[in-house]
Every structure is written in structure tokens, then in C-alpha cells.
Chains A and B, each alone.
Chain A
Amino acid sequence: MATHTEGTLACNGITIRYAELGTGQPVVVFPAAGGTLFDDVTTALADQYRVISLDISPFREREGVDDVTHLAPALARLGISSFCVVGVSNGAASAVIQAVYAPDVVSRVILVAPTRAILQHPQLAAKLGEVKAPTLVLVGTRDRSGAREVGQLCRAQIPVCHLLFVYDAGETIAAERRDACLSPMTEFLEKGEGFIVSQESQLIRP
């Protein structure tokens, strides 16, 4: 089993920790606060992608300063000039900020069980319409945290946004229904909006 590469990034006067796994197109992950840098789904993504998961907890301690907006130049020092972002739980707000403030380098946005942090962030809810990258929001049908409402808002405000319900999952979708998350996420990363088109054969017996 592949092991993570760990390192630090200097960003806006703060040092943040990151872990990296896999090779291929870069996918930057903003994990849930207090959780591990890699969950079952982001680990599986590393089979096809270069996944960089950021511990941005130092940012959260500096209330009112959007350090996340300064991440793109820091990531460039890792040789990453264009990337997809994945925001998990309360990490979703950081993923959206990245998409809003660095629209030219973010090619896809995936929000997994986004929390109300997006709605509570000053001005962020009003800026959803500025997200240029195709966006996918995954919400569990048993999630009562407000993710469904956040997903509905994203679907209504972000110009190209798909809301996907993961049946019979709560807030921890990745742990509860790993493959149900992984399949649409990898298809979306690969095809963007084209992920709504099925390529599966319906032929029963040739």
C-alpha cells in the first residue's frame, strides 16, 4: 500500500501541513476539521490522481482572514498550477473560497456533505455565482446537518452545479458508502458535466 508524502507549505505568513498520495492530475483536498487528512474516498482517489490534502487548521485560528485565497501561489511551489478541489464537511467552505478567488486555476469543485459554514461565511454565500468551475455536491439522504439546504443553494447559485444524493448515508458519506461517493466523483473529475451521460452498455447478451 502506498504511503503518504508529508510536508509543509508557507502561505501568507503561516505554515500549514500537507500530505500527498498518488500521481496524475492534482486534486487538492480540504478535509473536515479535526478529521484525518485522508479518508476512504480521498485515499481511493489517489489510485488515479495526485491528491494533496491540506491541514488548514492554522487558518481557522485567524478569524476574519481568508488565508485560503493565498493558497494557489503556495501550491504553485509544489509544481501545481491547475487543480481540482474537494471540500469535505466544513472543509467545503475553503474549497468554494478557492474556486471563487482562484477561478483560473481551479478546474473542478467537489463538495462532500458541506456544512452550513458556507452560509455563515461573510459574503461567501453571495459569491457562489462567481464559481466558474463545474461543481458537484454530494449529500447523504440521512444527513440532517443542513447539507441538503447548502447543496440546494449551491445548485441554485453556482452556474454549473450538480447536486447528488447518496442514498442511506448520513454526514460521514465517505465512510458509510465509499463506492457510492467514489464512482460519481471519479467520473466527475474525469468528465466534468459529461458525467451525466452514461457510457454503460445496456446490451444483455451479445
Chain B
Amino acid sequence: MKVGFLNPMSYAGTPTATPWPVPPEQCDRAAASKTMHRAREQLCLADKLGFDWVSVSEHHYSPRILAPSPMIYAGAMTEVVKKAKIAVLGPLLPLSNPVRVAEELAMLDAMSDGRVMVLFLRGTANEILTYRSNPAEAQAVTQEGIDLILHAWTEPQPFGWEGRYFNYRTVSVWPRTVQEPHPPVFSSGNSPESVQFCASRRLNLALSFIQLPDISQRVVMYKEAATKEGWEPTADNVLYRFWAHVAESDEAAEHNTSKFKVHMGLARHMSTAVRSSLRESPPEKLEFDRPFLCGSPATVLDQIGALREAGVGLMDIAFVWPGLSYEQQIESMERFASDVMPQVRGM
């Protein structure tokens, strides 16, 4: 198995109670800067510890994850991360110009000597509101955007695109990606429809924050759909993103993480009128009582074994949880690298 470090980009200032959008006046300017410096520190550490990739996601209007522009951050990553791959997991296509995304990723691939990997996403309900995208069309827009980007990376000649949501008369991306035909591309498999799309385009499958039985089900679905398309994915084609906390003992891990729960869905805080308008967007996640991987190194290895059994070969891990100090996050990450990662390599 391979392991990536998901940079949490956690706001270094005092947490706010307001869910989304959070008023800019609550952002401490110095804390914002400190957040970026810490993130850089963690990237360097992840690279030194031997993680296979470092990843960044895209989120807006909130201190939860300070990464509204993953491309800017990925550009900085190419300068400080020397060995690990640069994983942009990932740009939200309903909020983007796909041709611009194709250009920027190609530029990143050139800057990093071919170390880019990418996951294209549609975004959660709150993200769709950022630039006033239509939630009912988000999936279709994302899928067309992916097709357009793949054409932009592989067509040898300039071309036009007469889409349902995108229309271009001239597309001719420079530079070309260093990786041929293009960087590894992941697509979300968090809904059955998206799994089918992913297999039909021969893309890698990315799952996030879903439960183990659902992971197994999606992987089976992916493999069945791929077989119909005439190809056979392996565990190396399946990525799972989650939280982890590794402590010296199960008791310590429980103690460190039991004070808080995580609720993924920010839309639950919005008015009824807004939520009803978002009904076509992805279902809001439930509460999580604890990180997906949580415990001593031995316990975490068992949990990873179950993940491997479910068909996952790539893990994108954020070592964060509410209540954990920055130092505890670093400690957990280092313990994972020293006591878990070596055994994971052989799985």
C-alpha cells in the first residue's frame, strides 16, 4: 500500500463557532500567515518521513481548511517537497474554468518533474454556493469538465469544445504534462453514479470519509463496471481519504480524540430555504465519533488491514481531529511513519 499526507491547512487562530460562511473579520491576519507557515513545515516533514505524496484540497469561506486555491499551494509545494508526489485532491470543477485547471496542472507537472496526481471533485453543498454554481448541475458539470481536461491533455492539435456546460472554440494547452499521456487522474466514487463514470473513463477511484462496508461495496461496483469497459483495476487504483490519530496506546488515542465529534456537513447550519434548494447536492455526511484510524500502532495496522481487504491500496491521511494540538498532530504523524508505515509497505 501507499500512503499520502493530506495537509490539513488548519487555521492557527482561535476557532470560531460560525459554520459557513465565516465572516472575514474573524480571520486573524497573523494567524492566517502562521497557518501557511505551519502547513509548509508539515509538508517538509511529510516528505522527510517518506510519505508517497502530499496532498491539498480546495475549500472556501471557512477556517476549517485554508485552501481556497489549491493550485497556488501546490506551486509552493513543488519548491519544498523534493521526493513525494504533489497531489492536488482536488480542484472543484463547478467552480472552475476546466481549461485553466488543465493548464495549471500541466504547469505544476512540469515544475515538479512529473510528480503531479489529481482528483477532480464537484464539492460539498456549501462549496457549490461559493461562486453561485447550480447544485443540481454540479455532477454533470464536473463530469464534462473531466472529459474536457482529458482532451486538453491528450489532443495533439488545437481543438474546440461544444459541450453542455462548457464551450470553447480554441483549446491548445501549453506546456504539455511531463507524465504521458497525463498525470494520474482520480474521480470521486462517493455515489454509485460517479463510480460508473469513473470506470467508464478508466480513471482511478477516490473515496472519502465513508464507512468500511460502503468502501467494499463501491470497490466491487467499480471493478464490475470496469470489467464491462474491458479493463481490470487493482488496489493501486483505489484511494481512500480519512482522518487518523496514532498514539502510544489505544487508551491514549481514545483520550485524545473522544472529547469532540466531527460533522462534515456545513449545510445543516443553513436556513431551511437554502437547504431545500440544495437538495440535489451530495448528501450531507453524518457525525463521526472518532478518526477512521485510531489507536496504537498495532491497532491501526489491524484497521489498515481491513481497509486493504476492502480493496484500497492508496491512503490519503489527515492527522487531525478537533481538540488535538498542533504538537499532537505532528507526534501522531511521526509515530505513523516510524511504527506503521514500514509494515504498510508490504500489504
Contacts and interface: CB of A to CB of B under 8 A. Distances in A.
Interface in A141-177: 141, 152, 155-156, 162-168, 177
B161 interface: yes
B157 A195 contact: no
A73 B164 CA distance: 41
Nearest to A173: B162
B24 interface: no
Interface string B74-89: 0000000000000000
Interface in B245-299: none
Interface residues of B, number: 17
B230 to A, nearest CB: 12
A135 to B, nearest CB: 13
B161 A167 contact: yes
B156 A167 contact: no
A180 interface: yes
A155 B147 contact: no
A196 interface: yes
Given A141-B151, A152-B155, A152-B156, A196 B163 contact: no
Interface string B138-177: 0000001001100100011111111110100110000000
A167 B147 contact: yes
A164 B147 contact: no
Nearest to A140: B162
Contacts of A196: 160, 169-170
Nearest to B156: A152
A183 interface: yes
A103 interface: no
Contacts of B157: 152, 155-156, 163
Interface in A11-69: none
B98 to A, nearest CB: 11
A184 B159 contact: no
A185 to B, nearest CB: 10
A195 B151 contact: no
B162 A163 contact: no
A138 B161 CA distance: 9
B161 A165 contact: yes
7 contacts: A152-B157, A155-B159, A156-B156, A163-B159, A168-B163, A183-B162, A198-B169
Interface of A: 138, 141, 152, 155-156, 162-168, 177, 180-181, 183-184, 195-198
Interface of B: 144, 147-148, 151, 155-164, 166, 169-170
Instruction: In the A-B complex, list the 9 residue pairs whose CB atoms are closest, starting with the nearest.
Output: A164-B160, A167-B163, A196-B169, A155-B157, A180-B162, A163-B159, A166-B162, A196-B170, A165-B161
